[in-house]
Amino acid sequence: WGRGALDMKSQVAAEIAAVLDLREGGWSPAAGELKVVVTADEEAGAVHGAKFLCEQHPEKVRCDMVVNEGGGEVIPFDGKRLYGVCVAEKGVFRFTLTAEGTAGHASIPRIGDNALLKLAPLIEAMGARQPSLESSPEPEAFLAAVGIPSEDLAVALARVRDLDPRFAVLFEPTLGVTISPTMVSASDKINVIPSRAQIKVDCRVPPGRDQAHAEAQIRSVLGTNGYGLAFDEMVIGNRSPSETELMGHIRNFVEQEDPGSLVFPTVLPGFTDSRWYREAFPECVAYGFFPQKAMDMYEAAPLIHGADERIPVEDLGFAARFFRDLAVKVL
């Protein structure tokens, strides 16, 4: 119980417990190696962690399979119990919007040209709607798993929302580019009309999509005039194949532990270190799967990065069994 318990001290603990149990039982791989790679800066760009290791010391972390964070909590939906396996992460294309004006004394509002006011329509536009919905393999897989036609994504999303509005909030960002304004800066002095104002925007883009695609979707919401747009960070998202030996092992484990449940591939709206392994080792299958069934996703998701982050002890054991059994099966 406490900050970091879910994201992701719990998974580290379960992985270490699995390895210790294997070692204490006298197990060793018949072929290959079992590696536990623990780094601390995934939230800060992985420049000293997974990215650094994959780029500068690939021989230390080279692997055929990676099981990372990003999926695994049970999802109750329309009478079913679902387990998502994160096979892909969206790309990160954060950008800055800039408006220009003319400075002046704030006691005389019309003496200057207030750049901050020019940002208001952009903020309103981003609040009013997101870029258009886009099809991709992972959302399509979910819709197929729950029997919702996917020909019209707007209709499909509305159906998901009707069945469970909680899940719709989490599902919608997987259906295309998202833009979320998070920071604003303007004048350094309260009595000076700003000549320049800026908004920082967090933008996430479906796997494989590039800057040109991101910019086109952004401008479809904001229009093309009246502001400057500059990308501050650009990381193209990637994915692993959905139908693999590793996916088969996950399905078998879930069926054994929670009979009748469904397993489906997902794309994470956020970001994990799996991306660096896929890029460095093209044949590597990197999934996010930390199974939990005592605490469902609706209870767990709002706790992450909060003071009351927590995980049931039984879910630690549940996950540790998965990691232990998986190592024995693949090695």
Q: How far apart are CA 197 and CA 183, in angstroms?
A: 11
The whole-number average pLDDT for the span 206-228 is 97
DSSP percent split of the chain into helix, strand, coil, nearest 5: 40, 20, 35
Instruction: Quickly list DSSP for 55-104.
Output: HH-HHHH--SEEEESS--BEEEETTEEEEEEEEEE-EEEEEEEEEE-B-E
Q: How far apart are CA 267 and CA 236, in angstroms?
A: 14
Return the sign of the alpha-carbon dihedral for residues 61, 65, 71, 74: negative
Tens of pLDDT, residue by residue over 273-309, are 999 999 999 999 999 999 999 999 999 988 988 889 9
Tens of pLDDT, residue by residue over 123-145, are 999 999 999 999 999 999 999 99
| pLDDT the model gives residue 80 | 95
**Block residue for tokens 């695994």:** 72
Query: Could you tell me the pTM of the whole model?
Result: 0.91
Please choose, from the candidates 299, 296, 290, the residue with its C-alpha nearest in 3D space to the C-alpha of residue 317: 290
CATH number at 5-89+238-330: 3.40.630.10
Domain boundaries, the chain: 5-89+238-330, 91-235
| pLDDT the model gives residue 305 | 86
| pLDDT the model gives residue 269 | 93
Fold of 91-235: Alpha-Beta Plaits (3.30.70)
Q: How far apart are CA 106 and CA 124, in angstroms?
A: 24
Bridge partner residues of 81 (DSSP): 76
SS3 sequence of 2-16: CCCHHHHHHHHHHHH
The average confidence (pLDDT) of the chain is 96
Lowest-confidence region among 39-48, 131-140, 179-188, 199-208: 39-48
